[in-house]
Amino acid sequence: MLGKTYLTKQASLLLEFARTTSDSDLSAKLISKAADLKSQADPLPDKDQGPRAPDVAFASPDAPTRR
């Protein structure tokens, strides 16, 4: 699944292209697609809420080892 940041960036780029083109039909299509991407991004969380890796304690190289 695509993330919110990616979808928002893509929508922003489409709007930028829509502003620079002189073709009104193309501009309207780009704006419509940007709106679709924005509506997909809105319900997504702002940050990755995936499972977290378990905490792992790393020993320093000069720490004594237990045996």
Tokens standing for residue 11: 């929508």
Q: Return left, alpha or beta for 2; rule: phi > 0 is left, psi -120 to 50 is alpha, else beta.
A: beta
Summarised one tens digit per residue, pLDDT across range 2-12 is: 788 888 999 99
Q: Are 33 and 52 in contact (CB under 8 A)?
A: no
In angstroms and rounded to an integer, the radius of gyration of the C-alpha atoms of the chain is: 22
pTM of this structure: 0.62
Higher pLDDT, 65 or 27: 27
SS3 of residue 41 by DSSP: helix
- Which pLDDT value is given to residue 66? 60
d(CA 38, CA 43): 9
